[in-house]
Structure 1
Amino acid sequence: MPRALSICDRKTLSRTLAFLALGIACLSLSGIASAALPIPADNSSVLRIQGSNTIGAKLGPALIEGLFEEQGLSAIRIEAGAVENEQKVTGMTADGRSVTVEVAAHGSGTGFVGLKNGSADLAASSRPIKDSEAGELAHLGDLKSREAEQVIALDGLAIILHPGNPLGVLRSEQVAQIFAGEIKDWSELGGLPGTINLYARDGNSGTYDTFKELVLNAHGKSLSESAKRFESSEQLSDSVSRDSQGIGFIGLPYIRQAKALAIAVGESQPMLPSVTLIATEDYPLSRRLFLYNQPDMQNPWGQALVRFAHSPRGQAIVDQSGFIAQTVQAVSVAASPAMPAAYQTLAREAQRLSVNFRFQEGSSSLDNKALRDVERVLLYLKKQDKMKQKVVLMGFGDSKADPARAKLLSKLRAMAVRRELARQGVIFREVTGLGEELPVAANDADEGRIKNRRVEVWVY
């Protein structure tokens, strides 16, 4: 026997019917008018986004504003909601109707809860969906599929200090010991004597989840109870910049007046959170920013926002918001004696593209971001007339007992990328592998090994 519709069900049904009715009304034989998105007759919000404060504080509203402009809306404004860290983006149509998108930024985990209980159409997350969350949302479809998982930007976690602190470099294990409360005084790190004060994001935050995964868990540590916790990225950063003995972690756009440290992991060289190193995801604390939706999402505004976020205009907004866009660019790399000879030759004669291809965990298949990066790289190669004999693919991997096997596997990864690009007519100059050379992360944990299993693209 069919169950009675709850209040939530009836609201959802009403919203869906309103979208369908207005969507049909907007269709035309020419297809031009169909570009205009439907607006519900009851003036309810056209889209509800919940989740990451990193995305929701600035980037999400900026992307919505860009979509509104694309749709021809006017009088666009971003207003604070009734609750802290909630916002509404509103605009007006040419015939005077109001359009509203709601953004609630209380942490990545809350976005997946919103998808589960139907209070959100999109989940914003500054970390990948967890297996447990994907399992709880399995009734909505495969949330790990390309249709559901949208990488909209790249970011890097910066370890920040007071601008007057002379310390410049820390190793990942030192950062873990500091935030676990095991290193308590700056003098233990060669600095001036003084108690270290810890600043951290709150437990709902994807920023905290990423820090916990990449730093704390990687070294078997837990966050000290003495850390001051913040829901707001801006408040955390400003607090560190006012505390001469403070240290915190934050997303790249929120460094503000604080000082960022260079970080080293495993055998990698210390790296500052630079645009290029985050774009290639080589920086040890780089991360992806996501939107998650049902694979068969029906909300036309949700579909449009996902499309817009991936578009060149959307990625320009990502860049303007202080995050790292996924637009492909050629970057010169300085040759170094520490590089393998073949790599030194590339550095002197060619340029590296600002993208690395990476793979699904435990698989030789390209991950969801890499599949979109194939399209971005192809667009770059066509525009720059580099489709024939101009491209070198360089594969890398994690260490193996047999170095020859590591080199073979790294070349096989490069060949997997070659297959995707060759289908679209790219003729390669060289495809090779350097095995375990030039690691960008430690090889003693899955996260590090995944980062080291990569394919770089170079162009002549």
Structure 2
Amino acid sequence: MLRAAVSSLLLCCSLVFAAAAPAQEAERVRVAGSNTLAQALVPGVAQAWLRDIGYGDIQVRTPRPALTEIHASRDGQPLIVEIAASDSAHGFADLVEGNAQIAMMSRRPNAAELDAGWQLGDLASQDQEFVIALDGVAVVVNRANPIARLDMEQLRALFSGRSRDWRELGGGAGEVRLHLDASAGAVRDLMNDKVMRGSAFGEAQMHRDARALVAAVAADPLGVGLIPIGESYGAGTRPVAVSDGGRAVAPTRTDVLSEDYPLSRRLYLYGGQMMGALSRSFALYAMGRGGQRAVARAGHVAVTLVPGRARPTTLGPLEYRQMVEHAVRLPLSLRFNFAGSGESAVAASVYDSRAVRDLDRLRSFMRLPPNRGRSVLVIGFADASAGSPMASMMMSNDRADLVAQELVSRGIKVRVARGMGTALAVAGPRDPVARYRNERVEVWLL
């Protein structure tokens, strides 16, 4: 009797203490910034990351507008990935102020932001800057339209409504008819940043999505529209090549991934030099195979090293065309770190953060069974800011030799390393980052 009473008392005490014990507080990975990344990209990557590191019971919640929480647990330990959507500037400010461990940005930090975030460390280094995806805009016209290429000023005149007849742009007679996707905020953001520069969009026919827009342009011989890179053109439309002071570049997969196409941009994650293990794990996962599959599922361009088909090359010096005649361009352009307004701060590596990782991707790619024993061509380009044709040629040769040495050290056979000076420039001198864009190295697979 006494024993039963004691047991009951102990059980009651245990229940009281259990009820009084607070629930274990969940650890949080806080991510804030660009709405373009916050809509589907980062939530998709976060869920894939949680599954792949062993978390279960994954639930997506929206406690308030512009805030997504992804709840999960592992071995009884709860974890929440908190994704706050705003814009790149607010995301970076949250990182500086300690309200987020990771900032989502559709651009690099500007000079004022770098100054404000000096304590975060080297934000241009591969340890703190993570290029997780690309996105871009294709300008589509009806297949009957003879327009093949447009420059930035022509695009601004076209989409602001200043150019009202296709004859003003080198086409046939007929009134320009604009088509826009009402739901494509990222398309408008990119166009505002790279093309419109303060000009408002002209009157346009609005569509519910990109597919409806493509169908409308296919039925409109005088139509022109904007769609995200990756959307199907269909049988009735085609993309226009775009020039930004250099050669006109079409939005092929290779030219988008190499960032030679002007209407493309990187999507970044940024972390401080003391970012925690979980947030670093998440950022690194986003650039790996599982993360990049999630990027593609979210509708963005994954940063992967899958070459396209061999295509005849009709541009550039004769020597260049002869060198690459039987080679396949790999979908990358290795670029470098520079100091200056609008570009990255001085970094520990001579290569920019994506180039560092592209070199590692290239090593893995060349170790695949179909590529063992194959070699590559390394071709460097320079910007006109080098000062003279001779200086530009020397600079381009130096860059090609630098990359060739890097590849050889990784066990990759380099058949030829050659500079082409300022040939095939992709940006004009008025572009504030012309040197960054033009001074690049291509790699071709033999």
TM range (shorter): 0.7 to 0.9
| Conserved? CA contact 1:127–1:207, under 8 Å | no
Where does residue 290 of structure 1 map in the other structure?
A: 268
Separation (CA, whole Å) in 2 of partners of 1:135 and 1:161:
43
Give the alignment of 1:28-177 within 5 angstroms.
41-43=24-26, 46-83=28-65, 85-93=66-74, 95=76, 98-159=78-139, 169-177=149-157
Separation (CA, whole Å) in 2 of partners of 1:93 and 1:165:
57
1:392 aligns with 2:383: no
Where does residue 275 of structure 1 map in the other structure?
A: 253
Relative to structure 1, the CA distance from residue 369 to residue 200 in structure 2 (aligned partners, 3 Å threshold; closer, same or farther) is farther
Relative to structure 1, the CA distance from residue 260 to residue 118 in structure 2 (aligned partners, 3 Å threshold; closer, same or farther) is farther
Relative to structure 1, the CA distance from residue 270 to residue 328 in structure 2 (aligned partners, 3 Å threshold; closer, same or farther) is same
1:335 aligns with 2:312: yes
Letter in 2 for 1:286: S
Q: What's the offset of the Cα at 1:404?
A: 2.9
Q: What's the offset of the Cα at 1:237?
A: 5.4
Moved more, 179-188 or 289-298: 179-188
Relative to structure 1, the CA distance from residue 198 to residue 186 in structure 2 (aligned partners, 3 Å threshold; closer, same or farther) is farther
Percent identity, please: 28
Letter in 2 for 1:171: D
Q: Deviations over 1:97-134 (max 9, x none)?
A: 65321212222222112213332221111111111111
Q: What's the offset of the Cα at 1:401?
A: 5.7
Q: Deviations over 1:52-105 (max 9, x none)?
A: 12211111111001111112223434344421x43222334354x653212122
Separation (CA, whole Å) in 1 of partners of 2:388 and 2:183:
42
Separation (CA, whole Å) in 2 of partners of 1:259 and 1:93:
49
| Conserved? CA contact 2:150–2:241, under 8 Å | yes
Q: Deviations over 1:390-411 (max 9, x none)?
A: 1221111223663233222111
Q: 1:105 aligns to what SS in structure 2? A: strand
Relative to structure 1, the CA distance from residue 135 to residue 401 in structure 2 (aligned partners, 3 Å threshold; closer, same or farther) is closer
1:448 aligns with 2:434: yes
1:305 aligns with 2:272: no
Q: 2:86 aligns to what SS in structure 1? A: coil
Separation (CA, whole Å) in 2 of partners of 1:313 and 1:381:
20
Q: What's the offset of the Cα at 1:263?
A: 3.3
Q: Deviations over 1:305-336 (max 9, x none)?
A: 11211212212222333322222233333224
| Conserved? CA contact 1:328–1:380, under 8 Å | yes
1:344 aligns with 2:321: yes
Relative to structure 1, the CA distance from residue 86 to residue 457 in structure 2 (aligned partners, 3 Å threshold; closer, same or farther) is same
| Conserved? CA contact 1:184–1:196, under 8 Å | no
Q: What's the offset of the Cα at 1:254?
A: 7.2
Separation (CA, whole Å) in 2 of partners of 1:248 and 1:86:
32
Relative to structure 1, the CA distance from residue 411 to residue 209 in structure 2 (aligned partners, 3 Å threshold; closer, same or farther) is farther
Moved more, 159-168 or 439-448: 159-168
Separation (CA, whole Å) in 1 of partners of 2:183 and 2:141:
15
Letter in 1 for 2:25: D
Letter in 1 for 2:306: Q
1:429 aligns with 2:429: no
Relative to structure 1, the CA distance from residue 353 to residue 224 in structure 2 (aligned partners, 3 Å threshold; closer, same or farther) is same
Relative to structure 1, the CA distance from residue 342 to residue 317 in structure 2 (aligned partners, 3 Å threshold; closer, same or farther) is farther
Q: What's the offset of the Cα at 1:448?
A: 3.2
TM (norm. structure 2) is 0.77
Separation (CA, whole Å) in 2 of partners of 1:197 and 1:252:
16
Q: What's the offset of the Cα at 1:251?
A: 4.5
Q: What's the offset of the Cα at 1:141?
A: 2.4
Q: What's the offset of the Cα at 1:184?
A: 5.2
Q: Deviations over 1:402-431 (max 9, x none)?
A: 323322211111112123223333342111
Q: What's the offset of the Cα at 1:432?
A: 0.6
Separation (CA, whole Å) in 2 of partners of 1:114 and 1:328:
33
Where does residue 403 of structure 1 map in the other structure?
A: 389
Q: Deviations over 1:127-165 (max 9, x none)?
A: 111111111111232323322111111222334679999
Determine which structure has greater relative contact order: mean sequence separation of CA pairs < 8 Å that are 6+ residues apart, divided by chain length: 2
